[in-house]
Structure 1
């Protein structure tokens, strides 16, 4: 079953971040109790593995609030826990960060380009590019889209300060033409300019004292640019083939086809377990044999063998491996979809389906036991 979700982040007293999810039917009640910036004590919730792209937290688990969850205010907890974890620009340029995770960025704005209007998917969208620098004078491109670009444009046009510290919360990193950059991620990002936060004030004090200030040219007119996404470009310029043409092809081809999904073939399973460290498939192990071989290991969780890490691991998550039976007017075949593409079709994650399936099995076993008493 697929649920619509409502998402927030939670922080503990050590400033650690974890993703929080609410099912659709509980949103109205939770929306009154959970206010951004307020400190709350949350009890009676479930925990499930976190997965998917553009995750707001690097935590391997997420909190799922349910009907029995209780939320209360505790004045003894520190009210200024924000969960900000700015990353180093060098770590972005060196490719050390996983693009699946959203990040926090602090940077002094040293240059703002002109605002462009792009025609993306037949809609006009504003784009603004700027250059940030960190306390080590490392530069990083930042690209803002839509309302975020408009906000910064309005801020720059009425600017009275020479040094502006820009904060991007939950931004995504992107590699384009071998150049790394950051930008907003749809509408879940938060943008702040010179916010009065202790972390930002400390960052500002550590900036180089070299007199570098913001360079911004007020545009006389907006630049109109025609642009299409990579996916739109592929769909437009790739050849179209029927299923019979694909099946009879004598060489590898890149093409577009239109077909109807008949069913999902689960004969060989529909997911596999993946190591969250290296994102590679892990293999099940004989726990009894491992206990005899390596008694020093922690056996509180089920262990798996990761061929790439060359070690036993327990930080694993289920990911999709779906075989779709499809057909068109010329024939039928099977398409294999891995995790990210499969999630776009089924509109949920493998981890959530596995959790629901395990809960279903537990409920049925309880009913069987009760009927046998």
Structure 2
């Protein structure tokens, strides 16, 4: 029987590989033409992440449709180097299912949130590599109206501009599209809180002429959590003055 591997142990070649993963987010890849595939950002028990491409037919064959937030064991997968220009994880490998891949649902293993927060100054100074996604947290300010934008003749998609402020009062410009934009608009119009704290996970850095402009979401992959019960948000909340922002 093969032992469970952690993502940090990945090396080529693999022999009878088995991993135990949590599905952090899943989405459809518009470039998948020949067969239906699902992209998944997965985490292991040590807090590491990896990108996976799961063929839908493999899930159906195993009678195991993979859902966000659930844990699974994957046996007999394939491993390739990740050569994508933008990567949602720093892991250099990409997991693929094969014809003999077996997927089983397993009990939850850990409540890790998989956050790896970047300081605002690191992003603003251009020290965070735009090839990789970032996680940030802060207070929402300068929240704009929900817009709908699109190319001529193309579909219109929701868009929302806002900024985050960190405990040091540094501002980070943000632009959300699609589902995340609608989610932000709904929460912002619903809440009665004077200050809204949130976490943006797996967002992309945008630059213009070598300078930081804003961070934006990756449709289907990026996540936003409002007022999560984590140490960083709890500590931030305690620092907020009565008439903040």
TM-score, length-scaled by structure 2: 0.73
Match of 1:163 among 178, 184, 195: 195
Cα deviation, residue 180, structure 1: 2.7
Map of 1:114 onto structure 2: 145
Partner residue, 1:205:
235
1:80 offset after TM fit, Å?
0.9
- 1:99 is aligned to 2:130: yes
> What are the equivalent positions in structure 2 for 1:1-373 lying under 5 Å apart?
5-23=37-55, 25-29=57-61, 32-75=64-107, 78-122=109-153, 123-176=155-208, 178-196=211-229, 200-206=230-236, 209-211=239-241
CA distance in 1, matches of 2:177, 2:38: 23
Q: Deviations over 1:212-247 (max 9, x none)?
A: 7787xxxxxxxxxxxxxxxxxxxxxxxxxxxxxxxx
Give 5+ residue unaligned stretches, structure 1: 216-373
Structure in which a larger fraction of residues adopt helix = 1
Instruction: Report the Cα offset of residue 174 of structure 1.
Output: 0.5
More displaced stretch, 180-189 vs 120-129:
120-129
- Bigger shift: residues 201-210 or 80-89: 201-210
How far apart are residue 132 of structure 1 and its match? 0.2
Question: 3-state DSSP class of the match of 2:173?
Answer: strand
CA RMSD of aligned residues (A): 2.8
TM-superposed deviation, 1:125: 3.3
TM-score of the superposed pair, with normalisation by structure 1: 0.50
The change in CA–CA distance for 1:176 and 1:201 in structure 2 (over 3 A counts) is same
Distance 1:207 1:135 in 2: 9
Distance in 1 between residues matched to 2:244 and 2:150, nearest whole Å: 29
| C-alpha displacement of 1:37 | 1.2
1:179-225 deviation digits (Å, cap 9, x = unpaired): 431111233322222234xxx3433313572427787xxxxxxxxxx
State the Cα deviation string for residues 246-302 of structure 1 (Å, max 9, x = none). Answer: xxxxxxxxxxxxxxxxxxxxxxxxxxxxxxxxxxxxxxxxxxxxxxxxxxxxxxxxx
Asked if structure 2 preserves the Cα contact closer than 8 Å seen for 1:43 and 1:71, the reply is yes
Within 1, Cα distance between the matches of 2:243 and 2:145? 17
> What is the CA distance between 1:49 and its match in structure 2?
0.3
**Number of equivalenced pairs:** 211
**Alpha-carbon distance between aligned partners in 2 of 1:92 and 1:64, rounded to the nearest angstrom:** 31
Alignment partners' CA distance in 1, 2:163 and 2:242: 12
| Cα distance in 2 for residues equivalent to 1:157 and 1:78 | 36
Residue 166 of structure 1 deviates from its aligned partner by: 1.8
Q: Classify the secondary structure of the residue corresponding to 2:146.
A: strand
Bigger RCO (CA 8 Å, 6+ sep): 2
C-alpha distance in structure 2 between counterparts of 1:13 and 1:53, whole Å: 27
Once the 2 structures are TM-superposed, how far is the Cα of residue 78 of structure 1 from its aligned partner?
A: 2.7
Q: For the structure 1 residues 34 and 47, does the alpha-carbon distance in structure 2 shift closer, same or farther, using more than 3 Å as the test?
A: same
Alpha-carbon contact 1:37-1:82 (below 8 Å) kept: no
